[in-house]
Amino acid sequence: MERSSTTQPPGGEHSTGELVTMMSEQVSVLIRDELKLAQLEMTSKGKQMALGAGMFGASGLVAVYGVGCLLACAIIAISGVVAAWLAALIVGVALLAAAGLAALLGKQRISKATPPLPEQAVADVKADVEEIKGRAHR
């Protein structure tokens, strides 16, 4: 009669080979189960992230409509003093001026960040390499 790896021999001890086989089977099952758990967790988080991103996008769209309404309100308010076309022109020019200012400020910030390399860290590493070379030659 053959013994399976789960049946204990008389005396209650397994051979080293049986223990290694059992351990590798258990580790394999454990790793597979952990990978399945990680996959389920990431799938769940991905769905939540997609839902959140969709809601965030919808809020941005609603905000754009809200800004449009406020702009229309500003035009209507100014049109009480000047002609409607002039009120729309004033608001449009003010918006374009604000957009131009934001573009200039953004360009200035981007130019400060280029090149996109960690210059200080690179310099520190070079200094460390030179220090190590210097100590190695002593």
**For the segment 1-46, what is each residue's pLDDT rounded down to a tens digit?**
444 555 555 556 888 888 889 988 988 888 888 889 888 889 888 9
Which residue reads 């990680």 in tokens? 38
- Residue 105 tokens read as 């400020």
pLDDT at residue 1 in the model: 44
- Residue 80 tokens read as 């009480």
Query: Coil, helix or strand for 80?
Result: coil
Closest C-alpha to 79, from 95, 67, 91, 93? 91
For the chain, the average pLDDT equals 86
Q: How many CB atoms lie within 10 A of CB 73?
A: 11
- Which pTM does this prediction carry? 0.52
Respond yes or no on whether the N-terminal peptide bond of residue 115 is cis (omega within 30° of 0): yes
Q: How many CB atoms lie within 10 A of CB 75?
A: 18
Q: Regarding predicted confidence, which is higher, 93 or 17? A: 93
Q: What are phi and psi of 8, to 5 degrees?
A: -80, 140
- Residue 85 tokens read as 């076309």
Distance CA 126, CA 119 (A): 11
Percent of all residues in the chain with a pLDDT value above 90, rounded to a whole number: 45
